[in-house]
Amino acid sequence: MPTYNGERFLAEQLDSILGQRGDFELGITVRDDGSTDGTTDILRHYEREYGVKVIRGERVGVNGAIMELVNQADDAADLYAFSDQDDVWYDFRLQEAVTAHTGHTEHAIHTHKKPLLWTCSEELTDENLKPFGLMPRPKYLGLFHNAIIQNKAPGHTQVFNRALRDLLKGYPPEKIFVYDWVAYLLASAFGEVLYCPKSCGMYRQHGSNAIGYSANWWSHFRRRLKRLFTGALRGIAEQQAYFLVRYGESLAAEHRTVLYSFIANRRNLLVRIRFALTTRIKRDTRLESLQFRILYILGVFK
């Protein structure tokens, strides 16, 4: 769990993690990103009373904090989970993930070599945990041609095995646009994505969410539009370009070709048009796929 000025909701989330029920051993590691509020006092309490491991550092941003956590995680663990600082997990959440991972191998989890990533639905709530909906169900979960332009497994829902963690370990944070997207790309390219449609927690929406959902479609549309005009699509393309450099030789030929084409064809208008009209890359709906093609032709991903 990365934290930064999270005193309002942090204790509630830590309590929900400590209250998990199931047949597993649990360890919690937090990396604080230079908080200036009461977060550090809360962490000292949980460190002293519950054995939570706390890493304190200078401000490096969420991607830097996450990668420090990934790199320093226990090499002997079978499964790893990301956590936001402001959500609430239902007490059966991690057992659902453990059961799903175990069910995809005839052997013990720690001998399973294929990268696996588990994700789930969550209840959308306001800052007072009043529900207003569910996270949308993903349509093309784990399909690489979709994963290139759409992350369908948000980090606050991810539980992944050691094989995926080993692939992610050492990834430079400055090459990451969104950390959970890299994990999702790895699972889509080299392994499998497991989905639990059951709501396994409360995803709290408030004014400080870095990425989230809105209670109505207009607010959600405005939020997406704002990200579009602050360079989000360029950031996505740069992240995928480095992913190709780092893992290209290991990718299946089909995946390598489509990712290379997405990156290489951005510079020339006529080539962009031809690529947009013929590519198998797609988003969840026809309208979203059409929007992607138009934006690609317009050169927004450059």
Backbone angles phi, psi at 130, to 5 degrees: -85, 120
pLDDT, tens only, 81-131: 999 999 999 999 999 999 999 987 654 555 458 999 999 999 999 999 999
Question: Is the pLDDT confidence value at 207 over 80?
Answer: no
- Confidence at residue 209, expressed as pLDDT on a 0 to 100 scale: 46
User: What share of the chain has pLDDT > 70, as a percent?
Assistant: 89
Question: Is the pLDDT confidence value at 219 over 80?
Answer: no
Question: Is the pLDDT confidence value at 225 over 90?
Answer: no
Separation CA 54–CA 46 (nearest Å)? 9
Read off the pLDDT of each residue in 132-150 and give the average, rounded to a whole number: 95
Question: Is the pLDDT confidence value at 155 over 60?
Answer: yes
Separation CA 288–CA 294 (nearest Å)? 10
Residue 19: strand, helix, or coil: coil
- Confidence at residue 43, expressed as pLDDT on a 0 to 100 scale: 98
pTM to 2 decimal places: 0.91
- Confidence at residue 206, expressed as pLDDT on a 0 to 100 scale: 79
pLDDT, tens only, 50-80: 999 999 999 999 999 999 999 999 999 999 9
> Please, which pLDDT band fits residue 267 given cuts at 50, 70 and 90?
confident
> What's the burial of 270, exposed, middle or buried (CB within 10 Å: 0-12/13-18/19+)?
exposed
Question: Is the pLDDT confidence value at 5 over 50?
Answer: yes
pLDDT, tens only, 38-47: 999 999 999 9
- Confidence at residue 105, expressed as pLDDT on a 0 to 100 scale: 61
- Confidence at residue 125, expressed as pLDDT on a 0 to 100 scale: 96
Could you give the angle at which helices 179-190 and 61-72 cross, rounded to 10 degrees?
Answer: 50
Question: Is the pLDDT confidence value at 162 over 70?
Answer: yes
Question: Is the pLDDT confidence value at 150 over 80?
Answer: yes
**Domains, in order of start, for the chain:** 2-213 (3.90.550.10), 218-298 (no CATH)
Distance of CA 48 to the CA centre of its chain: 30
Cross-strand bridge partners of residue 161: 79
- Confidence at residue 210, expressed as pLDDT on a 0 to 100 scale: 47
Question: Pick from 52, 76, 51, 68: which is nearest to 2 by CA?
Answer: 68
Question: Is the pLDDT confidence value at 261 over 50?
Answer: yes
Average pLDDT, the chain: 92
